[in-house]
Amino acid sequence: MDVTVKILVLILAVAGGLVYRNVTQLWADLPAPKLDPQEWWGDEAQPKDYEAYLQNSSEVIGNRLSYPDKTIADLKERLNRTLRLTPPLEGVAFEYGFNTDYLREVVEYWRDDYLPRWREREVFLWQFNHFTTDIQGLRTHFLHLMVYDDNKVGKKHYPVLLLHGWPGSVREFYDFIHLLHQTNLDKNNKYIFNVVVPSLPGYGWSQGTSRKGLGPAQVAVMMRNLMLRLGYDKFFIQGGDWGSIIGSNIATLYPENVLGYHSNMCNNLSPKSLAKGLVAEFLPSLFVPSGFEDFFFPKSNELRYLMEESGYFHIQATKPDTIGAALTDNPVGLAAYILEKFSTWTNPSYRSLPDGGLTKRYKMDALLDNLMIYYLTNSITTSQRLYAEQYAQAQRDLHLERVPTRVPTGCARFKSDIMQFLDVQLKDKYPNLVHSTYHKKGGHFAALEVPKVLYKDFIDFVKTVERKFKIKTL
């Protein structure tokens, strides 16, 4: 072997070693980072005596927020100003976004049918106990439903934290809450739950921060602190969208507090997971139960769908205040922007329908309830900032996607959701994935669209956790 060949072999060996080292470092599991449980997000300066602050701010206050007639009258007046909507292109339904012909119909219903019944809708929204408390400097809103002693007889009783996402709110969970909390109505059901449903920071009636850095990891710290404030040191978690990510973060950072983590949007975006997803397309029978291949493949369809549906994501992750300014005090624009997601994220085929299929799976009043929460609380901008914080460098540096979450995990997949992940991908992140299911009907907003299906899936998960991990009830 001449000198030139020897040098070439040496270069290739060194290069191969460097590539191997970098790949293994990129794929290796990492320990959980330590986040400050007292990190301050309030507008004012952080108190010097934090313990005194905790004692003075630990009060949980019952609330029944209402809005004066002039606020509703002003909204009605704004809804009258819809004459300049640009007509849709010929033959276009929802393919270009919200169809403006149908938007006029929605606005008319909102203005002329829904708003005259607003006081009835208020009563509906306040059917559960609403509270606020101060967590790390921010006023935090939540629903809290507790089980009375006489309803516990013969029941297995656990606390559960329900976490919503964008563009949802606590309203998504109302039917699901009834199933969890009022199971005493069904004598054959052995489960009943104390239910906590917070509005995420900057969403609904929860205060947003004026400081940079409040990303999903920091929100997880706040939600765990809320549960501890309410006296729950062990609890289940259920969530989708941001609720899935924040719930996963709680389970990752504080496994000692989590009985089990259940999500209808489990994901793993680590480099190792993405590589496995690409490999699996060539051998789908090895990775997917028979009959569910179309949940995952072909990947080209999923990629095309994500490209078509992720424009909002990019602008909210880079310029949330710009789109927020465009939607603030603009109820018609806000309706188009939010309600369009309840069309295409529920079923992508609904893009071909002139009404976006909105009332195929939802009642219009339920959609408008959710929209009213964003409008009345002026929370569209603060809610969208969570996207920018998720992709800020400080948040990415936590590498939480590479920290194993070892608590019992359950994943419910709904066919029409935005993206799907294989068990072989999820088990890198969730080694105790003990429950994995597939549902042919349903999309991104499962709690609102198919609450009974989600409830049964969650209960089946709880049963599995009980059997495998011998957990204790309250």
Question: Do the domain assignments include residue 311?
Answer: yes
Question: Are 233 and 434 contacting, i.e. CB atoms less than 8 angstroms apart?
Answer: no
Query: In Å, what is the CA distance from 172 to each residue of 29, 142, 280, 369, 417?
Result: 35, 13, 34, 9, 16
Query: In Å, what is the CA distance from 29 to each residue of 32, 41, 248, 356?
Result: 10, 30, 16, 43
DSSP-derived letter for residue 434 is E
Active-site residue, selected from the candidate residues 114, 130, 181, 241: 241
Residues 6 or more apart whose CB falls under 8 angstroms from that of 170 comprise: 142, 143, 164, 197, 198, 199, 204, 373
* CA–CA distance, 221 with 213 (Å, rounded to integer): 13
pLDDT for res 11: 60
Q: Where are the alpha helices (DSSP H) in 133-286?
A: 174-181, 216-229, 242-253, 271-280
β-pair partners for 413: 438
Q: What share of the chain is helix, strand, coil (3-state, %, to 5)?
A: 50, 10, 35
pLDDT for res 19: 44
| Overall domain count for the chain | 1
pLDDT for res 20: 43
Active-site residue, selected from the candidate residues 158, 262, 444, 457: 444
pLDDT for res 18: 46
Is 178 an annotated catalytic residue? no
329 φ/ψ sector (left φ>0, alpha ψ -120 to 50, else beta): left
Inter-axis angle of helices 364-377 and 331-344, nearest 10: 130
DSSP-derived letter for residue 117 is G
Nearest to 199 by CA among 257, 125, 268, 148: 125
Query: In Å, what is the CA distance from 394 to each residue of 212, 218, 275, 384?
Result: 10, 11, 25, 18
* Single-letter amino acid code for the residue at 259: L
Alpha carbons within 13 angstroms on the beta-carbon side of residue 273 total 20
Taking the C-alpha atoms of 168, 171, 174 and 176 in order, what is their torsion angle to the nearest 10 degrees?
A: 10
pLDDT for res 148: 78
Is 141 an annotated catalytic residue? no
Inter-axis angle of helices 69-79 and 331-344, nearest 10: 80
* CA–CA distance, 100 with 89 (Å, rounded to integer): 10
Residues 6 or more apart whose CB falls under 8 angstroms from that of 384 comprise: 166, 316, 320, 323, 324
224: how many CB neighbours lie within 10 A of its CB? Answer: 26
Give the residue ranges of the chain where pLDDT is below 70. Answer: 1-26, 149-153, 183-187
pLDDT for res 51: 87
Cα torsion 284, 285, 288, 292: sign = positive
* CA–CA distance, 359 with 223 (Å, rounded to integer): 33
* Single-letter amino acid code for the residue at 86: T
Question: Do the domain assignments include residue 474?
Answer: no
Question: Do the domain assignments include residue 345?
Answer: no
Is 241 an annotated catalytic residue? yes
CATH code where residue 180 lies: 3.40.50.1820
Q: Where are the alpha helices (DSSP H) in 182-215?
A: none
| Phi/psi at 191 (5° precision) | -125, 140
* CA–CA distance, 373 with 168 (Å, rounded to integer): 9
* CA–CA distance, 311 with 226 (Å, rounded to integer): 33
Question: Do the domain assignments include residue 366?
Answer: no
Nearest to 453 by CA among 322, 350, 317, 361: 361
pLDDT for res 153: 67
Tokens standing for 89?
């292109």
Q: Which residue is it, tokens 């948040």? A: 395
Active-site residue, selected from the candidate residues 375, 387, 430, 455: 387
Query: In Å, what is the CA distance from 156 to each residue of 79, 232, 239, 455?
Result: 48, 16, 21, 15
pLDDT for res 63: 74
Nearest to 265 by CA among 362, 409, 155: 409
Judging by beta carbons within 10 Å of its beta carbon (0-12, 13-18, 19+), is residue 291 exposed, middle or buried?
exposed
Question: Do the domain assignments include residue 363?
Answer: no
* CA–CA distance, 122 with 100 (Å, rounded to integer): 28
Question: Do the domain assignments include residue 15?
Answer: no
pLDDT in tens, 198-250: 999 999 999 999 999 999 999 999 999 999 999 999 999 999 999 999 999 99
Question: Do the domain assignments include residue 433?
Answer: yes
Question: Do the domain assignments include residue 142?
Answer: yes
- 178 is in which domain, residue-wise? 130-328+378-469
